[in-house]
Chains A and B, each alone.
Chain A
């Protein structure tokens, strides 16, 4: 790890001033991703501003019935919150399917949104990577691509977004609240993460001087019947090959409301809007679920090594929706 100067921010204003005034400044919260990246010398900040003691943790109900989750709430804290379980079990389940208990005790909501890809070439200093070294090329394309994305890819990058939590937040139409010395703004989660295009190193809409302060979830009654199903190489503590977040309402055998999001297959947490459009108003049957999955996965770009993800995603979508349709208990 290269050396840096360390500032323990006593309040949010100090943290915002420190990042506004500096050049290579990074905020440090739970550390589970940033400490690792600094050790690998992928991140080399001059100054680290420790924000872990700022009063930005906790889950609260909003006047409209939505939820406000402080950016420094730990992943464990969100997954153990009774309001989260009642309103949107998909969020708690997605978090509990991610990482390990120790990591969830450390990792924060804000940090989770900003976690970097696990693409092997991003982490290998000897490899070319347009995220790590813009313009250098991409060794994942044509390389070992089994874990890489099939949706939202470009000729410059196919790195998968690794978060489980973010897939649930995309499903829930979350808003990301950010602050800087210039003020506060709110970013819809669908616009927060970016597909790589020709600038894979620009991963989010967050400006260099901004701090995530909260995530807000609007009321969504359909989310009370929601679930998360994750498929991975071992039973626990592994990144997704494919994951599916879904919320479903069925009336008289017909789908009257549906939300679907995918993890492990996209360059960003993937809201499956094509599938949602295809399923709305259709009978809640396996046939409709398969057709919806096909509508979304039609645009997949695969390699010989990751083509299996398309069929795996199709089957996982069908299974998740079927379970929500039949027993109304979370998947």
Chain B
């Protein structure tokens, strides 16, 4: 067992865990934060996306013990215009992928603001933030699958918030 302090949504959480427990399982099973979803459990669907120190990651492919002292943000700690935009734009049907979509979109918007390039933009990073076209949004959100196929609504919601 390994003792760690995980800072989740602004609160310090003391945990005593076997080291093989993923961050995803620690959030859901040990802390009861079931907003973060387990889809594929192998990094292919994005339903488990959370922010670690503001950076979006797949919580299923990382051990909880690796995040000791880091600031984890899950959908329970999110208060962002994206949430209402997803509702307005019908950016969901069953809703299972939505917490991951929201956390991923928050991370994505921050990356775009910081000039992080994508396969669509190419070119030098840090160049003045190009407009976030639908093609850009789709590429930058490609790590989040929606099996209901609500992609048009998801793209519209993100486009609305990105302005």
Contact = CB atoms under 8 A, between A and B. Distances in A.
Interface of A: 1-6, 8, 28, 30-32, 35-36, 38-39, 48, 50, 52, 76, 79-82, 85-86, 89, 92-93, 96-97, 99-103, 105-106, 235-237, 330
A200 to B, nearest CB: 23
Interface stretch (B18-26, B71-79, B87-95): B18-26
A6 B2 contact: yes
B142 interface: yes
Contacts of A48: 19, 63
Contacts of A237: 142-143
Contacts of A31: 61-63, 66
A32 B119 CA distance: 20
B117 A101 contact: no
A4 B20 contact: yes
Contacts of A32: 43, 58, 61
B20 A1 contact: yes
Interface in B46-72: 46, 49, 55-58, 60-63, 65-66, 68
Interface stretch (B7-15, B28-36, B123-131, B154-162): B123-131
Interface in B101-160: 104, 107-108, 111, 115-119, 122-126, 138-140, 142-144
B65 A102 contact: no
Given A105-B55, A106-B62, A82 B124 contact: yes
A101 B56 contact: yes
Given A39-B42, A85-B117, A101-B108, 16 more contacts: A30-B62, A31-B66, A38-B20, A39-B41, A48-B63, A80-B117, A86-B124, A92-B117, A96-B117, A100-B144, A101-B104, A101-B118, A101-B143, A102-B104, A103-B143, A237-B142
Given A8-B65, A80-B116, A102 B20 contact: no
Contacts of A1: 20
A102 B122 contact: no
Nearest to A50: B66
Contact of A100 (B60, B123, B142): B142
Contacts of A235: 138-139, 142
B58 A103 contact: yes
B46 A35 contact: no
A4 B124 contact: no
24 contacts: A6-B65, A8-B65, A31-B66, A36-B61, A48-B63, A76-B116, A79-B117, A80-B116, A80-B117, A82-B125, A85-B117, A85-B123, A96-B122, A101-B104, A101-B140, A102-B58, A102-B107, A102-B143, A103-B43, A103-B58, A103-B61, A105-B56, A235-B142, A236-B139
Contacts of A6: 2, 19, 63, 65
A93 B117 CA distance: 9
B19 A5 contact: yes
Contacts of A52: 66
A35 B61 contact: yes
A3 B117 contact: no
A97 B119 CA distance: 6
Interface-centre pick from A38, A82, A102 (highest chain B CB count, 10 A) = A102
B117 A102 contact: no
A122 B2 CA distance: 32
Given A80-B115, A93-B119, A106-B57, A100 B66 contact: no
A93 B123 CA distance: 9
Contacts of B42: 36, 39
A164 B36 CA distance: 30
Contact of A81 (B22, B125, B139, B142): B125
A56 B67 CA distance: 18
Contact of B56 (A8, A79, A93, A102): A102
Shortest 3 CB-CB distances between A and B: which pairs?
A100-B143, A6-B19, A236-B142
Nearest to A236: B142
Contacts of A93: 119, 122
A35 B22 contact: yes
A96 B58 CA distance: 17
A4 B111 CA distance: 35
A69 to B, nearest CB: 15
